[in-house]
Each structure stands twice: as structure tokens, then as C-alpha cells.
Amino acid sequence: MTQIALPLAWPEDPRDDEFLITPSNSRAAHTLEHWGAWPVMTAILVGPRKSGRSLLARIFAAKSGGAIIDDADARAETDLFHAWNRAQADRRPLLLVADAAPPEWAVKLPDLRSRLAASPIATIAEPDDALMRMLLERQFLRRGLDARGDLIDWLVQRIERSHVAVMRTVDILDQEVLERRKRLSIPLARTTLAAAALIQQPPEHP
């Protein structure tokens, strides 16, 4: 599967059609790439916001010719029921994208509940160290910020392990560098992120 940067809230970049694959999301990517092995023609992709799940879904649709229903857990149950049935009848794969798996959807229609239970689930987990590092490197690069390896390592060990935290961290540091006209460094990051409550440990020397 092509590797690309996750689509986050920043001007579009030609590399935004890439999906970065590490152990935290490789099983989800593998499940979608091998859709022909699904027991039914519908699967469910779940993962946190900003995790690249919509991008992965679009890659799946482009490769398989399948259909996507985003925010599936917020859709009308009858619509999901008919879409699930249509996918089986047409033999066209359908991917339902949501924040969490169906047990948390509180589905009322028994027939839909049983169909969802039969559908494989592909889960994107919170980012591991490798993905955190790649996301930080990619986002700093897009902002034109010189983030050295020691700073990246320092951030990976201190900020919350989430895709959203990566974006908030880069946004805040980018703004601080612009306003103070200082070089991006560990001391600057320590002071800035502690003030923004983005690092949970007390300030310390690297």
C-alpha cells in the first residue's frame, strides 16, 4: 500500500495521498487491502479522529471500487441496513467508517445488529513511537521548521500519544517560533508546551 502523510488541518501537500504505515495501523491497512478475503462484503474501519482513517478509506475505495459510508455510527439504521444488503447483492465492497466499533453504537434494529456483528473490523490504534516520530517530522517539514532529531525524540517521549496531540504540538511550536523569532529547540519546546499543558511532566533538562 502506498505510504503517505496523514491529512491534517494544514494547506494541502502533494504527499497527502500517502498513508504512513507502522505496527499501530498495519493490521487495519492489511484488512482493507485484502478485502477479497472478507467473510461478507462489508467491513468496519474504526480509529481516532485525525488518524488518517478517511484517507485509508479513500485508498481502499480507489483500489477496490468499493463504497464508503463515513461517520456510519451517526447514520440512520435503515440506511445502513439497506447499504449492507446492497453490498452483498452487488458484490461491491462497502466500508463503514466510525469512531468506535458497533457494540458502542447502541443499534436498535436486530437485523442490522446481526449484520454488523458478521462484518470484520479494522482498527487504527493510537500512534506508536515510530508513527509519532514520522508524523512530527512530516508536520515540521511542512511548516518549514528545522526540527532536529533530538527534539523529535524528546517530544515523542513527552506529549500525549495521539494524532490530535501531534497537530496541537506542531501548531503551538510553529506559532511560538514565528512570534519570538527564535530557533526551534528543546528549551523552547519545554517552556511553550508546559505553559500550554501539552506535556505532563514537570520541566526538566534534556
Same-domain pairing of 113 and 181: no
**Entry pTM:** 0.80
Edge-to-edge strand list for the sheet holding 67-69: 67-69, 94-98, 42-46, 121-123
Same-domain pairing of 68 and 141: no
Same-domain pairing of 60 and 92: yes
Condensed to tens digits (0 to 9), the pLDDT of residues 54-89 reads 999 999 999 999 999 999 999 999 999 999 999 999
Higher pLDDT, 200 or 102: 102
**Mean pLDDT value of segment 109-117:** 96
Q: State CA 96 to chain mean position distance.
A: 15
Number of domains in the chain: 2
Structural domain span for residue 44? 14-123
Same-domain pairing of 135 and 91: no
* Phi-psi label, residue 50: left if phi above 0, alpha if psi -120 to 50, beta otherwise: left
Same-domain pairing of 156 and 66: no
